[in-house]
Amino acid sequence: MTPVGVDLSLTGTGISTEERCRTVGTLARMSMGYRLTFIIEAIEEEIAVIDEPYIFVEDLLFFVKKGGPMGMVHGALHYWAFQVGVPIFPIAGSALKKFATGKGNATKPDMRMSLYRRADIDLRDDNQVDAWWLRALGYHIMGQPIVELPKEHLAGLDKLKIQFLEAASA
């Protein structure tokens, strides 16, 4: 299995694979159907060359306050992934931030600075930063860390590993 980080958004979806990080943008004036299709096709394009992709995505619960549109993006991804047999593992936003920075309430600049400090990678797009950390978290819970992190960053990962193993074997 190969982790792929996907930071879903209607305006800028970040996608992180072994090959690259990219952002897929759509415009508010586009129809919702077109926007969803464009985002899913971009994800499909990125993972087409990956053997056994496994998508790690920030859980929808983080976005509940934003209402229906984010639910539509998540629903479109889950529907497509189910149709093509690509598993998805949702990660709570606070768990992702804790992993990346050691703080569950980290800001976007904190996430970016931690990426620079820990991996010597300077991504200027927050969507790509989050997607990179989602992929790194995926590798970590699969037992193949791609970045070295202090103990406080790893608190709570044992629970995620158990959930992942249960999901992967289902």
User: Average of pLDDT values for 143-163?
Assistant: 90
- Chain centroid to Cα 163, Å, comes to 16
CATH top-level class for 2-169?
A: alpha beta
Tokens of 128: 């790509």
Per DSSP bridges, beta strands 53-58 and 2-7 are: parallel
Q: Which tokens is 112 given?
A: 């970016």
Q: Which of 90, 120, 125, 111 is nearest to 153 (CA)?
A: 111
The dihedrals phi and psi of 102, each to the nearest 5 degrees, come to: 90, -5
Structure tokens at 139: 């590798």
The whole-model pTM stands at 0.93
Residue ranges per domain, the chain?
Answer: 2-169
pLDDT tens string 30-81: 899 999 999 999 999 999 999 999 999 998 765 555 567 778 898 899 999 9
Residue 127 phi/psi, 5-degree rounding, is -65, -40
